Amino acid sequence: MLGAARQKMLGQSLQRIRPMEKVFRSYSSAAKQMTVREALNSALDEEMSADPKVFLMGEEVGEYQGAYKISKGLLDKYGPERVLDTPITEAGFTGIGVGAAYYGLRPVIEFMTFNFAMQAIDHIINSAAKSNYMSAGQMTVPIVFRGPNGAAAGVGAQHSQCYAAWYGSCPGLKVLSPYSSEDARGLLKAAIRDPDPVVFLENELIYGESFPVSSEALDSSFCLPIGKAKIEREGKDVTITAFSKMVGFSLKAAEILEKEGISAEVINLRSIRPLDRSTINASVRKTNRLVTVEEGFPQHGVGAEICATVVEDSFGYLDAPVERIAGADVPMPYAANLERMAVPQVEDIVRAAKRACYRYVSTAAAA
């Protein structure tokens, strides 16, 4: 009986994004497991085979099979004209990608991490994002910049920054950040087909994680809409927004909160720009409390933007101040215990949710 209730809930939440006639599909038999790595690889493979103008360019994408093996097998399948290993020249090859995109080719530029993309950020913002506007629609740039973003494990300060807030503030860019394999597949396919520059922020630590995918997600035409968030878990007491790896942490936090009687609604943002203001606001209007979770630096971060959005649109509905969980305001330390303290953990999210629900007893008061 519980199974039927959960299925109905799943059906209802998926109803928001699935066309009506597919809502009564049985999910138990159709669930296949797929890692995020496989999802990205299959998305690239399918898009490259569907459109000969799509090509992949980056460091180690060809013969090395991808620094994180995302592009495994693509060189053998499509040849060196379409899977290009570049010298270590981010500014150069990003500009080359933009120039090719001006002419209607559809490059996918891979950065080994988005930290390295800082060497190319001039081209991402000045020649890609702003061109359609500066040329009044003459130069469209159908390009995708993808790669791992945010902290990995023990890689130090220069390899661990989260760039969602930086790119998310720039008009002319679409910024996506998938969590599960289905997100990865659908959003990457949508990004490649999109006629505008898309920054696709992945996360190295979830590449190996396995998620169930429905059979519709395996279809070669499957795309997810850009600009729509997904409600991963429905709840009624507090809204938790997150993206990328933090969605997993938020879901675990929601399970812990459930045991303490707090029903948390977890929103997977999926799209940092455009931000799905309507889904976030609708959820806050239902629960009246908000916790934003992100891995990046707190000042001027994604959480700050979501808080401002909710204050602008749903101020009267808030019953508690917005809680903002972000990474520590320091460059990422190396030592493993310090690193754990510098990135939000499940306990931090649980504590913040309790604070928002006024169930948090401060240790000072208890003592």
Stretch that binds another protein, among 100-108, 154-162, 207-215, 293-301 (CB under 8 A): 100-108
76 binds another protein (CB under 8 A): no
Question: Looking only at residues 121 through 160 of this chain, which bind another protein when binding is defined by CB under 8 A?
Answer: 122-123, 126-127, 131-140, 142
The one catalytic residue in 47, 59, 90, 339 is 90
3-state secondary structure of 229: coil
Q: In terms of CB distance, is 33 or 220 closer to another protein?
A: 220
Q: Are 310 and 281 in contact (CB under 8 A)?
A: yes
Query: Whole-number minimum distance, CB 245 to another protein, in Å?
Result: 23
Triad 161, 162, 164: Cα angle to 5°: 150
Stretch that binds another protein, among 98-106, 151-159, 302-310, 328-336 (CB under 8 A): 98-106
3-state secondary structure of 225: coil
97 binds another protein (CB under 8 A): yes
Q: Are 201 and 266 in contact (CB under 8 A)?
A: no
The one catalytic residue in 159, 216, 234, 258 is 159
3-state secondary structure of 185: helix
Stretch that binds another protein, among 29-37, 222-230, 329-337, 346-354 (CB under 8 A): 222-230
CA distance 354 to 237: 10
CA distance 33 to 39: 10
21 binds another protein (CB under 8 A): no
Query: Whole-number minimum distance, CB 31 to another protein, in Å?
Result: 21
Task: Give 128's DSSP letter.
Answer: I
Q: In terms of CB distance, is 130 or 351 closer to another protein?
A: 130
Written as six digits, the tokens of 141 are: 């740039």
329 binds another protein (CB under 8 A): no
How many residues sit in the footprint of another protein (CB under 8 A)?
60
3-state secondary structure of 271: strand
Active site residue 90: yes
Query: Whole-number minimum distance, CB 276 to another protein, in Å?
Result: 9
Question: Looking only at residues 249 through 288 of this chain, which bind another protein when binding is defined by CB under 8 A?
Answer: 271, 274
Task: Give 123's DSSP letter.
Answer: I
Active site residue 204: no
Candidates 103, 337, 361, 365; binder of another protein (CB under 8 A) is: 103
295 CB neighbour count, 10 Å cutoff: 27
Q: What are the phi and psi torsion angles at 186 (to 5°)? A: -65, -45
Q: Are 189 and 223 in contact (CB under 8 A)?
A: yes
Pairs from 93-96 (Cβ < 8 Å, separation ≥ 24): 93/57, 93/58, 93/120, 94/120, 94/123, 94/124, 94/145, 95/120, 95/123, 95/127, 96/57
55 binds another protein (CB under 8 A): yes
Candidates 72, 228, 285, 355; binder of another protein (CB under 8 A) is: 228
CA distance 83 to 65: 10
Site map (CB under 8 A) of another protein, residues 182-221, x = contact: --------x--xxxx------------------------x
Binding site for another protein (CB under 8 A): 19, 50-53, 55, 79, 81-82, 86-87, 89, 91-105, 122-123, 126-127, 131-140, 142, 171-172, 174, 190, 193-196, 221-228, 271, 274
